[in-house]
Amino acid sequence: YATTPEETEAMVERAVMSGRPSFVHVQLAKYAGRESGNIGSLNPKPVVGALAASEVTAHDYAQGARM
């Protein structure tokens, strides 16, 4: 269960290196909406706006990315 970008990156790298099907459980931003299995929120409206400080990453692959 990853709660930080660093944990997520390490888990994804480990999953890719294993060469096997993998799951990486990641804590999503509370602003991201609800899972589709929640009948009351099957089609949540997208959240538009700046990322929270805890959602910002310094990784090169994210440069220029927009929410």
Q: Which residues contact 42 (CB under 8 A, 6 or more apart)?
A: 36
Q: Tell me the mean pLDDT in the region 38-67.
A: 60
Mean pLDDT of 33-62: 61
pLDDT at position 3: 82
Which residues are CB-neighbours of 67 under 8 A, at least 6 positions away? 47, 48, 49, 50, 51
User: What's the whole-model pTM score?
Assistant: 0.44
